[in-house]
Amino acid sequence: MNTLQVKRKIILEDGSEYVGYAFGSLEAKKVEIVFNTSMVGYQEIISDPSYTYQAVVMTYPLIGNYGMCDEDYETKIPTISGLIVREYCDRPSNFRSTASLGEIMEKYGIVGVSGIDTRKLARHIRDVGSCKAYILPAEEDSETALQELLDWKPATDAVAKVSTAEKYEEKPAGEAKYHVVAIDCGMKRNIVRELVKKGCTVTVVPWNTGAEEILDLKPDGVFISNGPGDPTDVGATIRTIRSLLGKVPIFGICLGHQIISLAYGAKTYKLKFGHRGGNHPVKNLQTGKIEITSQNHSYAVDTESLADTGLEITHTNLLDNTVEGVACRKDLVFSVQYHPESAPGPQDSNYLFDIFLKNMTAWKEEKQDA
């Protein structure tokens, strides 16, 4: 059966419907539906663990044309629920490609819908906010499906689902200058690549690893990764970071940024439709420079809640003035809401890894002098 001729529909929780054609898995799935404005990087998007339980609407109209490349995955087993596109290309042209997008989506149970007006759908999500959706065969009864969708409650175990089950280590080719313990909340592979490239041995540990166990590994720094879902769902990680504050340099990205803020006593909230794309302008308040950033998150740190926490705001989003970075100089702790390791994507923010290295160097020197 040619799945590209099988009709599928998307029902949103407000009752609106969009009808298109299937590719990838033919399962029926209930999801949270969001949109991404990136022009490239669909492979990195479908393999980013931060999209667990979500279906992503791609606003760029042609998806699948360069296939899937073995070296470009952000995780070995993708956990995204679905991908919705205007036009799907099932015959990629790329010497690096080893499979089509549809083949990989079928392998990992990712549902796809093509042939719909993605501009209209993205605008609808922008107007009503990220919402629940049901992707199912076009012939299914819409009224029954809508009631099932309204009764459905999204899972809250996303981080536990995607975090590593066991500790593992990755080393640079040459001599390691630093030892970083990375708490995996759904970490993108390119973060580890960047740290290793900078001369770090990286010990990756599960999301619920305790502070004492981390300190027993004698790290020069602790990194907290990106990941899916509501940051308040990962209380164990928040408690771990709270216990580590002031004891070792800490750097967080995306969900890691939210966890650090919560550990200091700040609050988070869910954005109406999130930030997802590769061209978000962020102002570095310390240098005055504007960085073009790659972003993927549903939650943000509440600005007013940062008062009296010991954290200062270092970066802000120029589109909506949300907090994009915080730091505590005394504790050598800092974090950003966006992705400096983005690939493909802007490289404006790669310097943040160097700040982490400088913090670790300063901490090691202070220990030696003590």
Q: What SS3 class is residue 107?
A: helix
Domain with CATH 3.50.30.20 in the chain: 3-153
Q: Please classify residue 298 by burial: count the beta carbons closer than 10 Å to its beta carbon, then call 0-12 exposed, 13-18 middle and 19+ buried.
A: buried
**Cβ neighbours of residue 106 closer than 8 Å, sequence gap 6 or more:** 3, 24, 25
Task: Output the CATH code of domain 159-369.
Answer: 3.40.50.880
Domain with CATH 3.40.50.880 in the chain: 159-369
Give strand pairing partners of 291.
Answer: 282
Check: CB of residue 323 under 8 Å from CB of residue 316: yes
Q: Catalogue the active-site residues.
A: 254, 339, 341
Per-residue pLDDT of the chain (370 residues; tens, 9 = 90+): 466 789 999 999 999 999 999 999 999 999 999 999 999 999 999 999 999 999 999 999 999 999 999 999 999 999 999 999 999 999 999 999 999 999 999 999 999 999 999 999 999 999 999 999 999 999 999 999 999 999 999 999 999 999 999 999 999 998 999 999 999 999 999 999 999 999 999 999 999 999 999 999 999 999 999 999 999 999 999 999 999 999 999 999 999 999 999 999 999 999 999 999 999 999 999 999 999 999 999 999 999 999 999 999 999 999 999 999 999 999 999 999 999 998 888 999 999 999 999 999 999 998 877 6
What are the start-end ranges of the E strands in the chain? Answer: 7-12, 17-24, 29-36, 54-58, 62-63, 82-84, 87-88, 111-114, 131-137, 168-170, 178-184, 200-206, 221-224, 250-253, 268-284, 290-301, 312-317, 323-328, 333-336
pLDDT given for residue 345 in this prediction = 87
Q: How many CB atoms lie within 10 A of CB 120?
A: 10
Q: At 106, which helix (H) or strand (E)?
A: helix 101-107
Backbone phi and psi for residue 195, each to the nearest 5 degrees, phi listed first:
-65, -40
Tokens, residue 41: 């990087």
User: What CATH class is the domain 3-153?
Assistant: alpha beta
pLDDT given for residue 344 in this prediction = 83
| Spatial separation of the C-alpha atoms in residues 103 and 189, rounded to whole Å | 22
pLDDT given for residue 2 in this prediction = 60
Q: Omega of the bond prior to 61 within 30 degrees of 0, cis?
A: no
pTM: 0.96
| Spatial separation of the C-alpha atoms in residues 323 and 303, rounded to whole Å | 6
Q: At 147, which helix (H) or strand (E)?
A: helix 142-151
